[in-house]
Structure 1
Amino acid sequence: MDERLHLVDWLIVAVPMVLVFYVAMQAQRFVKSVSDFLAAGRVAGRYVVAVASGEAGMGLISVVALFEAYYNSGFAYSFWNQLYVPVGMLMTLTGYCIYRYRETRAMTMGQFFEMRYSRGFRIYAACLQSLSGVVNYAIFPAVGARFLIYYCDLPLVTSFFGWHIPTFALVMALFLSAAVLVVSLGGQITIMVTDCILGILSYPLYAIVVIALLVKFSWSGDMEPSLLDRPAGESMLNPFDIDKLRDFNLFYIFVGLFSNVFNRMAWSGTQGYNAAAINAHEQKMGAVLGTWRAGFQGMMILLLAVAGYTYMNNDKFEDGAAAAREELTWKAVRDVAVEPEFDAIRGEVRRYLDTGEMSADLVTWSSEEHFEDKDENEPLRDMVKEALASEDKSAGQTFGAIHDQMRVPIALRHILPIGVTGVFCALCVFLLISTDTTYMHSWGSIIVQDIVLPIRGRAFTAKQQLRLLRLIIAGVAVFAFFFSLFFAQVDYILMFFAITGAIWLGGAGPCIVGGLYWRRGTAQGAFAALTSGSLLAVGGIIAQKTWVKHIYPWMEETERLPVISTIVEGISRPLEPYVEWRVLPDKFPINSQEIYFLAMLIGVLLYVGISLLTGKESFNMERMLHRGKYRREGEDEVIYEPVTWRTFYKKFLGINSEYTKGDKILAWSVFLYSMLWGFGSFVVLVAWNAISPWPDTWWAEWFKIYNLVVPGIIAVVSTVWFTIGGSIDLRRLFQRLGEKQDNMLDDGRVIGHVSADDVEHVEDIEHDK
């Protein structure tokens, strides 16, 4: 098969993007106020929220990260994700945090913080939030550009009139510029409209890729044998045989569960959607619809990872896999090791790939044991990694990281036929654009709204504020470009997310959850939680980046290594095999997920403890949530029934007076599917295997049923459902945008714990009491 992209593939990519940019330009005429730019005027319906936020939430970097995790650690550990089901379902149906946050009418998390705590905390939190978010986002362009270069087989260097420019930089500049254009045209309005259109266009394209993969590979003949061929303790499919997995294991799942509860809504990468719905009920129902929204998307990503692994490890595809490995290795070497000091190593690697014979120099370089982790299925990768490390250990680490990230994308280009190659490329471009626009908008908005605006203390004109928002958002793009250009990745993408996210997420959760639900939470407790989390996370980043070159050599030179090793390894011993700290020369012993958990735990304890010590009076929740006498004119009053045996099920499902008959059916469908199928099957399988363990072949059949057959049936229905629902709701969005009345005071300022546009309303109420 010719692995290059053909004209038809490029047309499949280009035509939808022309449509999207045309619609974005048409949508910009609706932007008249700051709230339009930040929250799309708060007039979105549930389907637009569900489709657009889903498209924005699953970026291209997320796909590459999942490929990397699945390829290295398999799919068995994800079985334990079903522990999330009852918790996630309860949070979704009750609108946990989402509903109350929308009731505050805050456009950013910082605005809520000033309403709930203080202006000083808003500024402090925004500094940490923007630092964490911008650095976390700053590798998105790198991963996305590198994916397109490897998948599309683009040259590493492009020549223009005698100038030799890295293609990596050109691709990043192209897509960042496109994203800045979309955001600048209309902020959250154009972002939400384009994301919704991209989401609707994606539904049939996901189905095409899924069908192509199922035609190419046989489950029983190709995929299943490949997935079953793993060493004991590292099973791809058996969740009771994963005790030797280090990074993605049961502890990783536990930390994710803990984070889902205590860090609800804390990550603000898609914060524009949190305030975009027409009311709190529509915001919650958009999240409920998210249970069914994914359709073929999740199934496609899983199948692509399985197909990539099968192609690279099944003897049936041995020749193609060998060619893919050689192509990947050579491209990654030239990508990472471009400096003159690597000339000799590159030359010997090229000679080895051409002849199959190792020179004496290559034998010497690759025989040095710089790294403990070896993969018997990837001898070429390990050989080149050691050879590069003989000159510069960090280059070896970066080569290993890039190789593992781009392994599945390279394999997919060898797998997918003409046309389908372009379809998948189009989907990846959609995901890249949607996430870039959303994240740049979020982090840029936080800097302006939650740092500049409260420090300034007085209002901008709408024109000034919109200009500043566009300028700062462009600045985020520039920072991401240069960070991606020079930052060398050495860890899994998901681990990078964990450690950079922990700068903010380590202590943000209790500030949000406590602020929305606990009257006793104080600014002092919030300050303590955020500070502890950020210090632990930053310390972890520094330790990880300096371990190989500085910390470990220092411990050896000062002869402190034996003592420190004994202490560190002794602390983790009671938690083995799921937490296993080993003091080795090539990697910091505590991984990013473990640092993240420690930061969260300490943050929760400090928030509760210090709030109890410093709290003197209860906070006025009704005023902040616009409930009771503070309800805004024109909004329906929600009747909250007392909890009794007769009303318990309604409380559990989140049903209140706002629910229509259709809403109740939707809530019950989510409950029954999640509890009876998702969590019910999990409980049955755990109990069954505790009594009589399944053989691996049974787990292979279960994997097929649970991850392919049932989701495939649901995807057929949801593809039609959300295509129609999203299209109708998008038309309604444009109608509401044309009819709404703008309030120029709704600009994100807070005066005396009250939003500026609510001050007159609150003063009238409290004056009359």
Structure 2
Amino acid sequence: MTLLDWFIAFAPVLVVLVVGLYCRKYIRGVSDFMVGGRSADRYLLSIAGGELQAGAVVFVAMFEVISRSGFALSWWGWLTGPVGLIIGISGFVIYRFRETRAMTLAQYFELRYSKRLRLFTGFLGFFAGILNFGIIPAVGARCLAYFWGFPEHVSFLGMACPTYVLLMGAFLSLSLFVSLTGGLITVMVINCLEGIIAQLFYLLIIGALLLMFNWSEIVTVLQDRPAGHSLLNPFDSMKVKDFNIWYVLMGLFVGIYGTMAWQNAAGYLGAARTPHEARMGNILSRWREMGKTAVVTLLGVCAMTFLAHPDFASQAASVTAEIGRISDPHIQNQMRMPVAVAHLLPIGIKGVLCAIFLMGVFGGDATHLHSWGSIFVQDILVPLRKKPFGPKQHIFALRCSIIGVALFAFLFGTFYRQVDYVVMWWSVTAAIYVGGIGAVIIGGLYWKKATTAGAWAALLTGSSLSVGGIIARQLDPHFPLNGIEISFGASLISITLFVVVSLLTNREDFNMDRMLHRGAYALSEEPKTIGAAAAKRPPLLARLIGIDKDFSTGDKWIAGGLFGWSMLFTTMFIVGTMWNYYAPWPDSFWPSFWHVIAIGFPIFFALATGIWFTWGGLRGIARFFAHLRSERVDHLDDGTVKNHHNLDEKG
């Protein structure tokens, strides 16, 4: 790292400090701290939410997947595209959840089911969440320690201390500052600004990599795989373990089943100005992710080329030597690609990538701290208290809880020894909560016959099976099921029990209109959909993919274009799979195919979305602050539920 690299890398820290101090004045009530005053528009939500997936730990996790599966996994992923988009365009789950006006999922569970279920899900979600989050600061700090070329241990207070532990403490401290100063207001604004900067930085990294590596060098390395383990030909990759077609299919099911279940960004779920803005934020985030794909993929395959191609043998030797000094074999494999990236990038570009890593660390960790700390207060302390918190006392409790989550993450990251891929750890720890909760969320929002007894049956079964899977994998490294398989099995069993027990115990249908504030229960002060809604009923095809009367003309183009693009690749998948079944394409075809599909198209989207979302993000921030300045604060809007009503609702 040169002086220029260090300057570029740490310039975002100044932005974080300035914005954090500025946003403090907008915290006037609990809803401001928790859900940003419900004032965010679609662009603010999509960009800020996307930064949760931009930290160093996410790059490490994706490098693990790319090094194991290459481009072949993308082919099978196209099978799932339209399904995921229909879920997003229709606003499945997220639209109705926003209609409940709940700040957290567990608050919705008290509205729909019971106070005891809120307490249990609050604790279960908090427990699973802090376990899931526990490795994130450690992996991110370790990645940056090796990226910067720091030694594995340094002397601290007369003792040999792992370098990543000191960095982890520093990063968590700055993330705490972000979370504590202005709650979700600060977190969203900082994440949005960081996301805008990162999109422009992506273009610089892409340009540098295209100048440094030619496609023939990359192909030479990717083709050097044994039969059945191809990184280019999806039909010659069936022997790849963990990241294969079954990983994709089970991931699709678990993803739909667990829609909005995972609470690592809980505040965002209730922060939209309207239910439709929440839905559009989700749709726009999918456009933005297309551009980010180019950076992660290019970095991954270029790092693999740098390590294995004869033309880079002399430079790669220093990477091998540096990796050899790491004592833990699992950490060696995990850090191989990040260290290679650090060695291959030129001056200036290395600082640019480091800035992206740091912005992702601060934004992602701050979001996790805010979410899990808020859930502990809102869904465990608030329901247990007989006397409600006062506004200032409530915000103080939220801040103390956030500090507690940071301390746990620091201790967990210091002492826990990771034995699985990052994405597998995320899958299995999320399944502790999501394994049973998906049926409870979807059933409660869409099925009037869902009962509290059915919810308990699904929750207890799903969490028990998932915890058992974690223990089994820790005790036996050769346990036959991986993280995604454990999640899939737990989810299927939970759904079955939820339906059966609900049908057996249902005595009276639940009043869905009251919970969703529809019909006679509509709230006059709730803001209406932004934009001009279509005057006539949408055509059949539009309705089939989830487009309704709330979509303006521009919204229809955004959603329809995304669906059409996805269908293009799904059609290519269906035709290509059938063609290869009868007449397999030669191995020489696949390098050219992926050069266009996996590199060319994403680079185009990186450029287009960089311009599009810079404009949208800056406009979204301006609208956000304008709405906050005119907001009427209601101190009863604090997440308390009385007799299946939010406390601030009358009648």
Fold agreement, TM-score > 0.5:
yes
**Please, which of 523, 526, 536 is the counterpart of residue 465 of structure 2?**
536
Deviation at 1:21, TM superposition (A): 1.6
- Residue 323 of structure 1 corresponds to which residue in structure 2? 318
Matches within 5 A, 1:267-306: 267-306=262-301
Moved more, 468-477 or 678-687: 678-687
What secondary structure sits across from 1:187 in the alignment?
helix
Q: Which moved more, 1:73-82 or 1:127-136?
A: 73-82
CA distance in 1, matches of 2:575, 2:290: 25
- 2:49 pairs, out of 29, 53, 57, with 53
1:224 corresponding residue in structure 2: 219
Contact 1:94 1:655 in 2 (8 A): yes
Letter paired with 2:5: D
Provide the residue aligned with 1:339 in structure 2. Answer: none
Distance in 2 of aligned mates of 1:249 and 1:662: 37
Contact kept? 2:5, 2:347, Cα under 8 Å: yes
Aligned to 2:504: 613
Give 1:703 shift.
Answer: 1.3
Q: 1:295·1:719 contact (CA, 8 Å) conserved in 2?
A: no
**Quick one: distance in 1 between partners of 2:606 and 2:69?**
26
Quote the residue 1:20 is aligned against: 16
Residue number in structure 1 paired with 2:248? 253
Q: For 1:77 and 1:36, how far apart are their aligned partners in 2?
A: 42
Q: TM-score, normalized by length of structure 1?
A: 0.82
Unaligned runs of 5+ in 2: none
Corresponding residue of 1:178: 174
| TM-superposition CA deviations, 1:675-710 (whole Å, max 9, x none) | 1x2222222211221221112221222211111111
| Structure 1 match to 2:391 | 462
Aligned to 2:600: 709
**Mapping 1:407-556, distance limit 5 Å:** 407-547=336-476
How far off is 1:404 after superposition? 1.2
RMSD: 1.8
Q: Which of the numbers 163, 179, 184 marks the counterpart of 1:167?
A: 163
Aligned residues: 649
**Displacement of 1:590:** 2.0
Give the partner amino acid of 1:459: P
Query: Does the 8 A contact of 2:68 with 2:240 survive in 1?
Result: no
Q: Determine helix, strand or coil for the equivalent of 1:696.
A: coil
Q: Does 1:190 align with 2:200?
A: no
Indicate conservation of the 8 Å contact 1:31/1:186, yes or no: yes
Deviations 1:531-587 (A, max 9, x none): 11111111111122222xxxxxxxxxxxxxxxxxxxxxxxxxxxxxxxxxxxxxx52
Equivalent of 1:661 in 553, 562, 571: 553
Measured after TM superposition, the shift of residue 512 of structure 1 is 0.7
Deviations 1:207-258 (A, max 9, x none): 1111111111001x21011111110110101111112112111111111010
Map residues 48-127 of structure 1 onto 2, 5 A cutoff: 48-127=44-123
Question: Residues 159 and 514 from structure 1, CA distance in 2 versus in 1: closer, same or farther, beyond 3 angstroms?
Answer: same
Amino acid at match of 1:726: G
1:425–1:45 distance in 2 versus 1, CA, 3 Å: same
Contact 2:291 2:604 in 1 (8 A): no
1:163 shift after superposition: 5.6
Deviations 1:474-517 (A, max 9, x none): 10010010111010111111111111111111111111111111
Aligned partners of 2:593, 2:298: CA distance in 1, in Å? Answer: 15
Amino acid at match of 1:589: P
Aligned partner of 1:466: which letter? Answer: I
Q: Counterpart in 2 of 1:313?
A: 308
Taking the aligned partners of 1:262 and 1:71, their CA distance within structure 2 comes to 28
Q: Partners in 2 of 1:68 and 1:54 — Cα distance?
A: 20
Distance 1:148 1:300 in 2: 18
SS class of match (1:520): coil
Give the structure-2-normalised TM-score. Answer: 0.97
Question: What is the DSSP-based 3-state SS (H/G/I as helix, E as strand, rest coil) of the residue aligned with 2:261?
Answer: coil
Shift of 1:15: 1.4
Q: Is the 8 A contact 1:521 1:608 kept in 2?
A: yes
Deviation of the 1:266 alpha carbon? 0.8
The equivalent residue for 2:258 is 263
* Offset of residue 435 of structure 1: 0.9
C-alpha separation in 1, matches of 2:250 and 2:97: 24
The answer on whether the counterparts of 2:54 and 2:356 sit within 8 Å (CA) in structure 1 is no
Percent identity reads 42
Q: Which residue number in structure 2 is paired with residue 212 of structure 1?
A: 208
Q: 1:662 corresponds to which letter in structure 2?
A: G
Greater shift, 729-738 or 627-636, is seen at 627-636
Distance in 2 (alpha carbons) for counterparts of 1:231 and 1:650: 46
**Contact 1:203–1:295 (CA<8 Å) still a contact in 2?**
no
- For 2:157 and 2:290, locate their aligned partners in 1 and report how far apart those are by CA, in whole Å: 47
Question: Structure 1, unaligned stretches of length 5 or more?
Answer: 334-398, 548-585, 764-769
CA distance in structure 1 between the partners assigned to 2:436 and 2:533 by the alignment: 31
Aligned mate of 1:233, from 219, 228, 232: 228
| CA distance, structure 2, for counterparts of residue 125 and residue 163 of structure 1 | 42
The alpha-carbon deviation at position 61 of structure 1 amounts to: 1.4
Residue pair 1:653, 1:667 contacting (<8 A) in 2 also:
no
Counterpart contact for 2:533–2:552, Cα < 8 Å: no
In the other structure, the counterpart of 2:570 is 679
Amino acid at match of 1:61: V
Matched letter for residue 606 of structure 1: L
Q: Which moved more, 1:690-699 or 1:431-440?
A: 690-699
Check conservation: 2:55, 2:140, Cα contact below 8 A: no
Q: Distance in 1 between matches of 2:297 and 2:262?
A: 24
Describe the SS at the equivalent of 2:154: strand
- Counting only pairs closer than 5 Å after superposition, residues 384-395 of structure 1 correspond to structure 2 as none
**Is 1:11 aligned to 2:12, yes or no?**
no
Alpha-carbon distance in structure 1 between the residues aligned to 2:427 and 2:546 = 31
Q: Does the 8 Å CA contact 1:81/1:253 hold for their aligned counterparts?
A: yes
* Most deviating of 605-614 and 659-668: 659-668
Whole-angstrom distance in 1 between the partners of 2:324 and 2:5:
25
Q: After superposition, what is the alpha-carbon deviation per residue over 1:175-209, rounded to whole angstroms, capped at 9, x for unaligned?
A: 00111111000110000010001001111101111
What is the CA–CA distance in structure 2 between the aligned matches of 1:136 and 1:13, rounded to whole Å? 27
Aligned partner of 2:125 in structure 1 is 129
Is residue 2:621 matched to residue 1:692?
no
Q: Is the 8 Å Cα contact of residues 432 and 464 (structure 2) preserved in structure 1?
A: yes
Deviates more, 1:318-327 or 1:103-112: 318-327
Match of 1:602 in 2: 493
1:148 matched to 2:147: no
> 1:721 maps to what in 2?
612
- 1:141 Cα offset (Å): 1.1
**Does the CA contact (< 8 Å) of 2:155 and 2:161 recur in 1?**
yes
Contact kept? 1:444, 1:473, Cα under 8 Å: yes
CA distance, structure 2, for counterparts of residue 69 and residue 637 of structure 1: 42
Distance 1:291 1:230 in 2: 32
Query: Which of residues 515, 518, 521 is equivalent to 1:624?
Result: 515
In structure 1, C-alpha distance between the alignment counterparts of 2:524 and 2:384, rounded to whole Å: 31
Contact 1:95 1:284 in 2 (8 A): yes
